[in-house]
Amino acid sequence: MSIQNVGFNIKTGFRVVGIGIKRDLTNIRRYKAKLIGWLLSMAIGMFTGYLFSVLFELNPVTAGETGINTATQVFIFFIGGVAIGTFSDSALWAPLMRINQDIHYGTLEAVFVTPSNRVAYLLSPTISDSFVNLIFFIPAYIIIMAVNGTLTNLYVIGTTMLVVFVTILSMMAFGLFFAMIALLIRKSQPIALFLSMLMQFLCGAYVPVQAYASMKPVLGSILKYFAYCFPYTYCYDLFRFFIFGSQYHTLLPVWVEFLVLGVTSIAFVIIAGFLLKLVERKAKNVGLSIL
């Protein structure tokens, strides 16, 4: 059997995405324990945010760097990170689990020997997981807006939902990138776990990136600039900016963060396409055993 090189055809691509989403949503309905686990994770994250807001206060330097200085704002900051973080988990785990599942059932080879679009195949689990996570994101979002007193503010609602939409798009881009890593490197779950922790903590899900430099001048600056490389840093930062308003100090000017977010997302898609070509070339030369 030969490996098919398939370009991205819009019609067939959407068909593959639709079939993949239907498959994932059917499996989710069958295994309701997974839904319960997601719900419990969100609930635990929100409760942890409440504990943080009650037990801890940001030091004066951090408060000055971020513009956040009350327990309520700390609570909103933390819950915002939990809510946006649900989509980063989809980016990492959904494509990886799809590939590992198809390797286990011996169906991954069929994707590479039939004229189906591999990009659409890898997008579908990320989209379906994002759809489910959006269901759990909404209650947390409503709590954030209610506590912040902006539940009826259409400007805040519109801008924050724009950031959520952009986050989902950037998450898809990173999901494609990591799916290629999972194809090239077998048993890549430890890498996924490392990247998940990296994006949760380094990119500002729970700790303000602005405060890194005040922690240790040299190490903090290194961590801060390293966080600049990941699109999720700007997703968290922009979401909080539109929640808190101008009192929140973003890492970069808002328009620059949107620009960098777009550029980094496109870069991950380009790298993923390059890695896909490597997988196809290696499969042609070595055989489908690499899958």
Q: Determine, yes or no, domain membership for 3.
A: no
Number of domains the chain contains: 1
Q: Determine, yes or no, domain membership for 5.
A: no
Question: pLDDT averaged over consecutive 10-residue blocks of the chain (291 residues)?
Answer: 50 65 68 64 64 60 74 82 79 76 72 68 79 81 88 91 87 78 70 73 82 75 84 90 89 91 85 78 63 54
Secondary structure class of 287 (helix, strand, coil): coil
Q: Determine, yes or no, domain membership for 1.
A: no
Determine the length of the chain.
291
Q: Determine, yes or no, domain membership for 202.
A: yes
CA distance 117 to 114: 9
Beta-carbon contacts of 222 under 8 Å, excluding residues fewer than 6 positions away, are: none
Q: Determine, yes or no, domain membership for 4.
A: no
Q: What is the pLDDT of residue 2?
A: 47
Residue of 235, 86, 91, 267 lying closest to 167 (CA atoms): 235
Structure tokens, 91: 């980016």
Annotate 251-270 with b (16+ C-beta within 10 A) or e (fewer): beeeeebbebbbebbeebbe
Residues 126, 95: contact at Cβ < 8 Å?
yes
Residues 225, 251: contact at Cβ < 8 Å?
no
Q: Determine, yes or no, domain membership for 244.
A: yes
Secondary structure class of 153 (helix, strand, coil): coil
Residue of 268, 258, 253 lying closest to 172 (CA atoms): 268
Phi/psi at 35 (5° precision): -65, -40
Residue labelled with tokens 């324990």: 33
**Which residues constitute the domain of residue 103?**
10-290
**What does pTM read for this prediction?**
0.77
Q: What is the pLDDT of residue 49?
A: 60
Annotate 192-223 with b (16+ C-beta within 10 A) or e (fewer): beebbeebbebbbbbbbbbbbbeeeeeeeeeb
Q: Determine, yes or no, domain membership for 245.
A: yes
Phi/psi at 67 (5° precision): 85, 5
Q: Determine, yes or no, domain membership for 121.
A: yes
